[in-house]
Chains A and B, each alone.
Chain A
Amino acid sequence: MVYSIRSNSDTGYSTPAKGHSPAGHQKVKAAFRSTTAPKGWLLLCVAILLFAAGTLCCTAAAEEAVGAAVAAYSPEWKAFEGEGTAEDPFLISTYEDLARMRDFVDAGVTYKGCHFAQTSDITFPEGVNWEPIGSHSESKAFSGTYDGQGHVISNIVCSSWRPSLFLELDGEVRNLGIESGSFSGNLAGCIASYGTKNAVLFNCYNKASAHGTERAGGIADNMNSGKIISCWNLGEVTCEAGVSGELACYNAGQITGCISVKPYTPAKTNKAVIEDCYAFKTEDPEKSVDAFNRMLYYAGVERGQKVYYVKLGENGLCFGGADYKPMGVIKQEVKALLITYGPLLFLAGLTALFAVWMIVRICKNKISLRAAETAAADSEPAAPEEAKAKTARRLKLAGELILFSVLLAFGLYTANTALELKKTGATRTVHEFYAQPKGTVDVLLLGSSKVGINLDAETFWKTNGISAYALWGGTQPVWNTYYYLKEALSCTTPKAVVVEVSGVTKDFNYSPEGQQYTNTFGLRPSGNKLEAVRVSTQQDRWFELFTGAPIYHTRYAELTGSDFDSFFWSKKDWVDRKGTAVQYASTSETAIEDATGIDECAYLPEKQEYYLRRIIDLCREQNIPLVFIATQTWEREDDQPYFNSVQKIADSFEIPFINFNLLDSEIGFVIEDMFPDDYGHVNMKGARKNSYYLSRYLADRYGLEDHRGDPKYQSWENFAHNTVNQYFTLIKKSDDYLKELARNDRSVIFVKHKAAADEKLTDFLARMQEAGLYSDFLNTPGDGCWVMESTRDSTQIQPCDAAQAGTLLLDGKEFAVSLKERKITCGEEETLAFESGIYCVVYDPYTHDTVDTFKLY
Chain B
Amino acid sequence: MKYGAFDWLAFWDSLSMNFISLLFLAFAALVVALYYLFPKKIRWTVLLAGSIGFCAVGGWHTVAFPCLMALVAYFAAIVIEGTERKQRKTRRLVLTIGALILIGTLAIIKINGLIKWEAGKFIFPMGISYYTFSLVAYIADVYWGKDKAEKNYFKLLLFALFFPKILQGPIARHKTLGPQLVKGNSFDSKACIAGIQLMIWGYFKKMVIGDRLVMFTSTVFASYDKLGGGILLLNAVLSAFQLYADFSGCIDIARGLSQMLGITLEKNFDRPFSSKSAAELWRRWHITLGAWFKDYVMMPLAISPKLIKFCNTVGKRFGKRTVKALMTIIPTLIVWLLTGIWHGTGINYVLWGVYWAILMIVSSVFAPEIAKLAKLFRIDTTKESWKKFQVVRTFLLFCGGRVISTMPTPAAMGEYFARIFTKPQLWQFFDGTLFAQGLSELEFAISVVLVGLLIAVSCMQAKKSVRETIDGWNVVFRCAIYALALVLIFVFGIYGPSFNASSFAYMNF
Contact = CB atoms under 8 A, between A and B. Distances in A.
Interface in B24-50: 26, 30, 34, 38-42, 45-46, 48-50
Contacts of B121: 336, 339-340
Interface in A644-686: none
Interface in A360-378: 361-362, 366-370, 372-373, 375, 377-378
Contacts of B495: 550, 553
A273 interface: no
Given A351-B72, A367-B83, A403-B479, A377 B45 contact: no
Contacts of A531: 1, 4
A4 B398 CA distance: 51
A337 B122 CA distance: 10
B117 A339 contact: yes
Contacts, number: 231
Interface secondary structure of B, over-half rule: helix
Contacts of B79: 358, 361-362, 367
Contacts of B195: none
B65 A354 contact: no
B105 A354 contact: no
B68 A347 contact: yes
Given A31-B151, A34-B152, A354 B75 contact: yes
Report which residue of A33, A34, A348, A539 has the largest number of chain B beta carbons within 10 angstroms of its beta carbon.
Answer: A539
Contact of A543 (B5, B22, B84): B22
A343 to B, nearest CB: 5
A48 B3 CA distance: 31
B482 to A, nearest CB: 6
A400 B487 contact: no
A411 interface: yes
A539 B6 contact: yes
Contacts of A60: 6
Contacts of B90: 366-367
Contacts of B45: 36, 40-41, 43-44, 47
A47 B7 CA distance: 24
B162 to A, nearest CB: 16
Instruction: Give the dominant DSSP class at A's interface.
Output: helix
A41 B122 CA distance: 35
B246 to A, nearest CB: 20
A399 to B, nearest CB: 8
B483 A549 contact: no
Given A36-B152, A354-B98, A539-B11, A51 B30 contact: yes
A340 B123 CA distance: 6
A400 B479 contact: yes
Contacts of A820: none
Contact of B152 (A35, A66, A338, A343): A35
Contacts of B76: 354, 358
B46 A47 contact: yes
A319 to B, nearest CB: 22
Interface string B176-203: 0000001110100100010000000000
A66 B117 CA distance: 46
A339 B491 contact: no
Interface in A322-344: 332-333, 335-344
Nearest to B101: A350
A290 interface: no
Contacts of B496: 544, 549-551, 553-554
Nearest to A550: B496
Contacts of B108: 342-343, 346
B101 A338 contact: no
Interface string B152-164: 1010000000000
B394 to A, nearest CB: 36
A3 interface: no
Contacts of B34: 47, 50-51
A34 B482 CA distance: 43
B475 A400 contact: yes
B480 A407 contact: yes
B368 interface: no
A44 B43 CA distance: 9
Given A32-B151, A51-B49, A369-B81, A339 B112 contact: yes
Q: Which of B4, B76, B90, B121 has the most CB of A within 10 A?
A: B4
A59 interface: yes
A556 interface: yes
A404 B479 contact: yes
A551 B112 contact: no
Contact of A407 (B48, B117, B151, B483): B483
B310 interface: no
A63 B1 contact: yes
B320 interface: no
A556 B491 CA distance: 7
B120 A337 contact: yes
Interface string A386-406: 000000000001011001100
A550 B499 CA distance: 9
B442 A557 contact: yes
B272 interface: no
B88 interface: no
A408 B42 contact: no
Interface string A25-46: 0010001111111011101100
B490 A48 contact: no
A540 B10 CA distance: 8
B97 interface: yes
A403 B480 CA distance: 9
Contacts of A343: 65, 105, 108-109, 112
B69 A347 contact: yes
Nearest to B61: A344
Contacts of B7: 539
A377 B41 contact: yes
B78 A404 contact: no
Contact of B82 (A340, A341, A362): A362
Nearest to A59: B6
Of B75, B82, B484, B499, most buried by chain A (CB within 10 Å of CB) is B82
Going nearest first, the 6 A-B pairs with the smallest beta carbon separation are A550-B496, A534-B4, A339-B120, A336-B120, A369-B82, A411-B487
24 contacts: A31-B78, A31-B82, A31-B151, A40-B42, A43-B39, A48-B49, A59-B6, A59-B11, A60-B6, A339-B120, A339-B122, A346-B108, A367-B90, A369-B78, A400-B478, A404-B479, A412-B490, A479-B3, A509-B3, A534-B1, A534-B5, A535-B1, A550-B495, A610-B2
Interface of B: 1-7, 10-11, 14, 22, 26, 30, 34, 38-42, 45-46, 48-50, 53, 61, 64-65, 68-69, 71-72, 75-76, 78-79, 81-84, 90, 94, 97-98, 101, 104-105, 108-109, 112, 117, 119-123, 148, 151-152, 154, 182-184, 186, 189, 193, 440, 442-443, 475-476, 478-480, 482-484, 486-487, 490-493, 495-499
Given A39-B42, A50-B34, 14 more contacts: A36-B152, A37-B41, A37-B42, A40-B41, A335-B119, A340-B120, A354-B98, A359-B75, A377-B41, A412-B487, A479-B3, A535-B1, A539-B14, A557-B443
